[in-house]
Homo-oligomer: A and B are copies of this chain.
Amino acid sequence: MNEATTRDPDLTRSRILQAGFELFVDKGFAAVSMRELAQRSGVTKSLIHHHFGTKEGLWDAVKEAAFSRYYEGQKDELEGADAPDSNLLRNGVIRYFRFLQENPQVVRLFTWMHLENDSTCSEMDAELVALGARRVREAQEAGLLRADVNPTHVVTIFIHACSQWFEVRPQHKNWEGIGSDDEYLEDFLKIFMDGLAPGAAASETDSN
């Protein structure tokens, strides 16, 4: 009965943040009530207001915490990569896919944000994509990838193919013939990497 009465504002804050993360990810901002948040985090409603001001304040804090975790992780991986070689893009896709696979809540959170036209993290987001696009351009200049496609689009395409997969997976699990996460990733990589091979443009010159 000693630790129950002890005050620990940092722990309290993080408990509220965690409850907010779970509930907002699950139901979206509008469908969550302060009372629900209070109950889940085991504190009083007033205490949430004390620490975060308003419901929007907590929402912002939840988004920022989640996104900064995402941002740091992705940036480390992007900057830690070596000089361009033929497997760099492939490995980047795989790492991104694995990250989403292990953090499905992040996908949902970002989707809620997109629907609400939230631009909280647009600068960081843009920075990550620019970093990835630069890598692709380097590989293009080294002759490792076809040069007739926009590097930003290359990054965008694989981000979309990965994130949408996890966004809609619950609904599409019983589509006829659909495979596991790994099988989807494998097929995507086949098409994506071969479609980006330097010689890929040659095979189609007769059709149009």
Evaluate whether A150 and B177 lie within 8 angstroms (CB atoms) in the complex, with A114-B167, A195-B195 already known: yes
User: What residue of chain B has the Cβ atom nearest to residue A25's Cβ?
Assistant: B115
Chain B residues, Cβ within 8 Å of A193: 195, 204
List the one stretch of A4-12, A59-67, A96-104, A179-187 in contact with chain B. Answer: A179-187
A187 partner, pick from B114, B117, B157, B159, beta carbons under 8 A:
B157
Helix, strand, loop or mixed for chain A's interface? helix
- Verify if A57 is at the interface (C-beta below 8 Å from B): no
Find residues 152-205 in chain A having any chain B CB closer than 8 Å to their own CB: 152-154, 156-157, 159-161, 163-165, 167-168, 170-172, 174-179, 183-184, 187-188, 190-197, 199-201, 203-204
A171 partner, pick from B108, B125, B179, beta carbons under 8 A:
B125
Per the bound structure, the CA–CA distance linking A153 and B178 in Å amounts to 7
Per the bound structure, the CA–CA distance linking A74 and B88 in Å amounts to 38
List the one stretch of A13-21, A47-55, A126-134 in contact with chain B. Answer: A126-134
Evaluate whether A129 and B175 lie within 8 angstroms (CB atoms) in the complex, with A30-B27, A193-B204 already known: yes
